[in-house]
Structure 1
C-alpha cells in the first residue's frame, strides 16, 4: 500500500513575532516548519520526513505550504497561523500519461562552475542561473520529472541567504515558475513531487504543486 504525504496550508498571522522573525530569516523558517515533523528522524530529519515547503506572499497575506509524510500543525508556536491539512493521495492517484496539469514551483536554478584541466581535482563554485538559462534549466528538469511543459511564467522571488553560525555561506537565488504541462511519465513525476526538485530545499525551494488543467 502506498503512503502519500499530506499538505499543510498555513495562513500566517501577520502580527505574530515568530512569523516576523521567520519571514526575515530562512534558517529560522526551516526550524519552525520542522517542528511539525516527528522527532528522532536521525541525521537528515528533513529528508527522512520528506518535508518540502514554499512561502507564497501577496500584498495582503503570507501563506506557507508544507508537504511531508506526517505533519502536526499543533506543534507550531501558539497563534502562528491557521492551518488546513489536505491528503495528497487523490492527486497522486490521478496522475496518468497525457494528463494536462497546471503547476507551480519555486526553484534555485544553478550549475557548477567548470574548472580548467589543471584544477580537475577541485570542485567549482555553484553559479545561479537567470533569464533564458534558468528557463532552459527548468525545462530540462521538468522533462526528467515526467512533465512536458507547454507554458512557463517566471517570477523572481527574493533571494535567500541562510543565517546563523551553522548556515552554509551561500546565497540562494529563487525563481517561481507557473504554467501548464502534460504528464509524460507518472512514476517519474510522483518521485519528483515526493522528493522535490533542485537545490535549496531546506530554504523553501523544490516543492512542485500540481492541479488538473481547466478543460478548454
Structure 2
C-alpha cells in the first residue's frame, strides 16, 4: 500500500501536567560532502551528529530526556533526515553547508488524535522477539523478525500503543550495525490505522516504539487520513 500525504512527526511533548511544544527538523544532506557520507555510513557517527542538536551533559539518558528520534529515508527530493526532539534544536551546531535544513515547531496533530480518528502511519522499527526455553543454546537471545512475522509483531505493538491497524505493508531496510557487534534488523511499516487510545498514541509518538531508537528506529510518524 502506498501511503498518501506527507508523514511528519508529532507536534507536542505530553506530560500529565500539560502540553509542551516539540520540534521537527528536516535535513536534506549534501551528499557531495565527505562528512555527510561518513555520518550516513556509520550509525554511531550519525547518532552523535543528531545528538549535537540538543544540549550536552544531559547524562546517560540524554536521548530519552531530549526526546530525540530520527529516521533516514529516500524521497522524491532525495535522501532526507527527519529528526524530532522535545527541546528546541540548536541548528548552529551542525557544520555550515551540511544540508538544506527546515525547522518547524509542530502543533495541532496530537490534539486531533482523538478516539476513532483514522491516520496514516510510517515507522522504521526493529521487530524482534526473545527466544524461549525451547530454543536450546539460543535461549534468551533476540531473534529478528521478517515478513509476515514482522507484520504480526507490528500489529500487536501498535495495538498496545493505541492504534488498531487497518492496513500494513512492510519493507526490509538495511541492517544497522552499531559499535561493532550490536545489530538492529530494520523494517519499515506503512499503512493506515484507527486511534483507540489517544493518550497511548501520543506517548508512543513522543517516546518512540521498540529497540534501536538511538540509531534511527522507533520514530512513529502520523498523518490524519483525508475524509
TM-score with structure 2 setting the length: 0.87
Uncovered stretches (5+) of structure 1, i.e. residues with no partner: none
Give the aligned partner of residue 42 of structure 2. 25
Give the aligned partner of residue 180 of structure 1. 192
Q: Which range moves more in the overlay, 134-143 or 5-14?
A: 5-14
The answer to whether structure 1 residue 199 and structure 2 residue 216 are counterparts is no
Q: 1:195 & 1:61 partners in 2: Cα distance?
A: 27
TM-score with structure 1 setting the length: 0.91
8 Å Cα contact 2:53-2:93 kept in structure 1: yes
Q: Which range moves more in the overlay, 103-112 or 53-62?
A: 53-62
Structure 1 outlier segments of 4+, above 6 Å: none
Deviations 1:101-152 (A, max 9, x none): 1111000000111135999xx9711110011110000000000111111111
- Secondary structure (helix, strand or coil) at the match of 1:82 reads strand
8 Å Cα contact 2:146-2:172 kept in structure 1: no
Deviations 1:70-124 (A, max 9, x none): 21222112211111112233111111011111111000000111135999xx971
Q: 1:117 & 1:201 partners in 2: Cα distance?
A: 27
Give the aligned partner of residue 82 of structure 1. 100
Uncovered stretches (5+) of structure 2, i.e. residues with no partner: 1-17
Give the aligned partner of residue 101 of structure 1. 119
Give the aligned partner of residue 141 of structure 2. 125
The answer to whether structure 1 residue 43 and structure 2 residue 60 are counterparts is yes
Deviation of the 1:30 alpha carbon:
0.3
- Residue 41 to residue 117, structure 1, CA distance change in 2 (3 Å): same
Deviation of the 1:168 alpha carbon:
6.3
The CA RMSD measured in Å over matched residues stands at: 1.9
Give the aligned partner of residue 166 of structure 2. 150
